[in-house]
Structure 1
């Protein structure tokens, strides 16, 4: 959200610098993310001066160029080569001096330098309108009619609108601050100054015009609806001050009527809509709904099918506007409009949010209505808009103000205890200071006693409805930085030693993966219910469903990181980024026997090629070894070893492994099933691993163990075993370490064979065994004894046939 400093100064006297104002607002909860300088003319005409052409002669080496000398207020005139056909002696012109930067209406900016043009020196540039960004004309240089001295800055002749604009990252709860008035209210409390707000004056009917009646079918969806008819409207461009205000907020001026409604929206936070009164069938405005499937063409000329649930502004022929969201193409203001019906309403946030979500429309109006506007603002804003229409469009009031407001929205009443304020803030704040802060925020203090009071909150503060909200208001104006830490801090706790730093563990894992070329992703915790319904391994009954879902596609909380990651892969693959390695730390959710369960998972994704093809070697697709290697390195980084590894050939994997610690699953990895890839519209193989990060952190040793490097050499021996297909390498490794004792340093597998040379149902493993003693050189006798133990263990426990 953008806020103009110039406009804020219309509400409140600001003596502080823009940086100081930004700091104050940020500390109070309205985070200023940036400050931009706005100039109605880019560059502010800096380096542009008024000059007088003293001489003008034909260029000796170019037919279309002229040699001029121009007085720009310096001791000697400046020689300038000019290509304009209308340049002549005696003219007053605008000159860009050497070093000035020009920002033309079209094209990139450029700097003026001293140059030689066709052999003649040129020290500046006599400018045309478009070269200065003043317009689009390039017929010739701009000739002035002025008595200002030569050398006078152009900004003294041409008004340059300048402003500083705050970029505020508005949080969803602060709907009240979505306007210049809203921000000024906070500054009023912070600076202890009064706001200068225009008084609400009565409007008198000036003439007769089209008769408009209004009928509201459902006051729950539209608690308040106001409007007025104006005639003699002359649609045209807005004045410079209004256009500059809108441009400073990155809005394009359209015409005076539309610009005024946009001004009121950003100034007061009240959206308005102007209808061409002559296009309203039989002068009847109806606020209600239209049947599902009804076609409606919006201002962007797109035909939309109505859901039947959105609130519509309609007449006897059909829809005129999607209430609070977007106008219709057939009822809007055009250059031919002379009479308007100006609408100012308070629409239910729920009905607006649902309609905007259904149609995928996010407008400045819906942004405010769906968060909650001020139900007491419509008539005041309407009157301010009418004044501007009278002044800028020649409009005349042609009706009394219509104001349908059968059940006024009540103020919030909140009971507050002083003791709770001091306890939650962590500091005693004097009762006089509490009352001053609240009253400066338009929160009345009533029924005060020694222990507390009743706070009366205006309904535009939709986020202040509880005691904790009142306390937060006191704290943010009093200042978070005013709550000092005690000089003596202490705590009592029981914990394992050494204490595990879970953030550091995650940082270490992130650094490891990033160092291997992985990119971290962050995806939405909300996902599609179809994933659990069609996955074949997730239980739809365990989905945590969102009650106030924005759409069916974001209807449940995810049970796994798989599908949100696949959506990222699909997005990139569709944009020809097919070789990807990604990871994500994210939370997953499930219904449990008692309430809900959630936990952090680490998801790892590989797809495409591990290396690009080149003249040295061919491309190589990712394989199981790549995903397994990534998982093993994470486990080694954490100091965690799985107790067992199980082969799996069921969803979500074509084939893969499950890593266990006792009966608990540390994680799983493998090749994702084609049916699941199809659900996420991924059209290439994906290797995926999902690790239980919470469990891994608990299992992490927290202490690095070191051992002295042995002075004695390592010995390797190999064995070839023929075993049943069902026996995993992991079980062989565990058995070997048990039988080999302290001398067995490590085990490896360097060949696996299945084929016609061994019996059906069997496979052959070639294993390497690395033996080492920390204290002595191994003898043949000791080595043979150890290998004998290994062979006996394999034969007895697995029925292995040792090949010789």
Structure 2
């Protein structure tokens, strides 16, 4: 969220630097993540002044150049100019030597002393596009001004400078999602009053165009206000409003839309303007419409409605998805002459669900999802209407319509002084407590020796209980002002298990990092839509968050797959497509009336195995790459006798199921395309999901290093023709049993299926590495071992040994 320091100063008197204001806000819980300098003209025209052309002569060595002398206030300098319209006596814009210009297009450049065709030039007479204020390059700017030579161009062009705070607004601070909200915190921190613009001069010009409002569900829309303004003139906004929006990274559109955006960021109250002539039947109806009803939004996309979102409708159909996005057919255009201006309070739940379903995140939905002030709509409506009359003309053609059947009362909370001192960790005077709360608009309405009773206004949606009130006192008093005890200590009484699971996880993380994997840590909260649309997770098993702050984070995850896919999508969208990731994380399930959680290990592979180079072309990761990683994990943990079974089940196109006895260790496979697309991943992903609780339990601990054998290793190769249905895992297990302790490892260096063997057969070319750690192997022992392997392959897997 961006906050303009200039605009804050309109609400509260500030003499602190932007950095001091940022520190104050951060210490109170509104973390300022950065401070940006905004200039209405990039570069602020530093080093650019008003000058006067004293002489102008043709360049002796160039037909299209002129040699001028220009008075820049601190002397007369020679400047070679290529503009066709330069002439003696003109007032011009001059970039002095050393100035840096930021043109409309192209890179910035510095003005340096130069010789142009043999003539010295110590500056530049500027055109519009060269200083970034317009697109014209037909000639230099000729000014009509009496300003003295040397006057900074910032004064002539009224350059606006502003510092903009980037605040990482936490979900619980909906009250601070505006300049007014931030000013309220500064009021408490600095003990200064804030100034809110008055609407006492608001008046209705006539009642020639009344548009009635009907609200079908007051639970979804507790308050809906509106009025009509006629005979307006659509046009560009004045510079002050455009600069305000640009400072907040918003594009000015027209005076009406810009005013609604101004009010939203100023007061935290979203508004919406409808073209009144496009409201069929002259009536506004706030209701839900049937599922799968088509609706075209302002971005010209047709969307199928879910039936759960709230719609602003006329007698023919939808005009706007309430609190989220406007409709194409009812928006303000250059031809609009009358508008119906909406200012409402919507239920956070209905807005959150609608925004989530349509994948729309707007400035309005951001605020409605967190909760807006139900007492603000009418004030914001009047403030906007007065601005529209000022900037777009027109007449207010109806009384304020205010549908508010059940006004939201202030919340009354009782707070104990003893709990204030206990939770804060120090004793604070009653006077400071009272002053702090009143500066936060939390008013005393009763007091005893031990307790106070306070009244909290509805815009403080996060202050609902005693602890919340105490937190408000603490954050204004200052966390740093609470001293730590001299006797602060900790103790640990639990028995240390023989197997240190944290150390085991840490050591295995080192192994995976050594293989090129990066560890990720993702949020345990996730989107309910994943379980609903994945096809392999049961939505009924979702552990739902009762006090969720967002539909995006509405349930606990049942799988590490989607949180990992979101990380892949984030990186792929930033052109980092070759990824090897792993995560140790917990998954959660609701089973009837009980809850269960498991620790899992997830591995992700996607993209190419290595960056493309002149040595070898790039090669996409393949199933064996993931399988070999899992094999190494099992080997490092000392887990053997793992059974492998081929499966075809979501979320995989194909996969291997790993079993240890009757228990499932995990799965390895290629993620189905539609599963990846749920998280916006469009390239193939290899995924392994391992039961870390079971792996850790069965682990013998990470294998330690052993001395390298002094005796040589021997390699022997075999070519086997086997049935297609025989897996390499079966061959490997047969070899391990037959080869005994001499067989160190097996490799596959070729697989063949083709015309030279039967269609239901395949051929493996295998390498066997034999080694005795105590003696040098003799030919007799090697031949005996290989004979035993051949016999086992022939008898157990029906192999034909190719000679």
TM over 0.5: yes
Deviation at 1:66, TM superposition (A): 1.0
Deviation at 1:408, TM superposition (A): 0.5
Is the Cα contact below 8 Å between 1:231 and 1:397 reproduced in 2? yes
Distance 2:539 2:222 in 1: 39
Aligned residue in 2 for 1:177? 176
Distance 1:54 1:753 in 2: 86
Q: Flag the 1:278–1:751 CA change in 2: closer, same or farther, 3 A.
A: closer
CA RMSD, 1 decimal: 4.7
Distance 1:344 1:42 in 2: 35
SS class of match (1:221): coil
Aligned residue in 1 for 2:159? 160
Aligned residue in 1 for 2:11? 11
Aligned residue in 2 for 1:115? 114
Q: Flag the 1:316–1:594 CA change in 2: closer, same or farther, 3 A.
A: closer
Distance 1:328 1:674 in 2: 33
Aligned residue in 2 for 1:205? 204
Q: Flag the 1:492–1:736 CA change in 2: closer, same or farther, 3 A.
A: farther
Aligned residue in 1 for 2:65? 65
Deviation at 1:549, TM superposition (A): 10
Deviation at 1:687, TM superposition (A): 4.7
Distance 1:136 1:570 in 2: 38
Q: How does 1:70-219 map to 2 (within 5 A)?
A: 70-75=70-75, 77-201=76-200, 203-207=202-206, 209-219=208-218
Aligned residue in 1 for 2:348? 349
Matched, 1:645 2:642: yes
Distance 2:573 2:112 in 1: 47
Q: How does 1:230-379 map to 2 (within 5 A)?
A: 230-281=229-280, 283-292=282-291, 294-379=293-378
SS class of match (1:587): strand
Distance 1:279 1:420 in 2: 57
Residue by residue over 1:416-466, the C-alpha shift from the partner in whole angstroms, topping out at 9 and shown as x without a partner, is 333433444444444443333222211123333344333321111111212
Aligned residue in 1 for 2:452? 453
Matched, 1:749 2:776: no
Is the Cα contact below 8 Å between 1:264 and 1:385 reproduced in 2? yes
Aligned residue in 2 for 1:45? 45
Distance 1:229 1:345 in 2: 15
Distance 1:277 1:382 in 2: 16
Q: Flag the 1:485–1:495 CA change in 2: closer, same or farther, 3 A.
A: farther
Is the Cα contact below 8 Å between 2:738 and 2:788 reproduced in 1? no
Structure 1: stretches of 5+ with no match in the other structure? none
Deviation at 1:474, TM superposition (A): 2.4
Deviation at 1:133, TM superposition (A): 1.7
Is the Cα contact below 8 Å between 2:352 and 2:551 reproduced in 1? no
Distance 2:167 2:671 in 1: 43
Is the Cα contact below 8 Å between 2:95 and 2:126 reproduced in 1? yes
TM-score (norm 2): 0.82
Is the Cα contact below 8 Å between 2:52 and 2:92 reproduced in 1? yes
Aligned residue in 2 for 1:467? 466
Matched, 1:391 2:390: yes
SS class of match (2:106): coil
Distance 2:348 2:713 in 1: 75
Q: Flag the 1:629–1:131 CA change in 2: closer, same or farther, 3 A.
A: same
Q: Flag the 1:528–1:539 CA change in 2: closer, same or farther, 3 A.
A: closer
TM-score (norm 1): 0.82
Deviation at 1:73, TM superposition (A): 2.8
Is the Cα contact below 8 Å between 1:163 and 1:248 reproduced in 2? yes
Structure 1 residues 456-465 or 624-633, which shifts more? 624-633
SS class of match (1:390): helix
Is the Cα contact below 8 Å between 2:11 and 2:183 reproduced in 1? yes
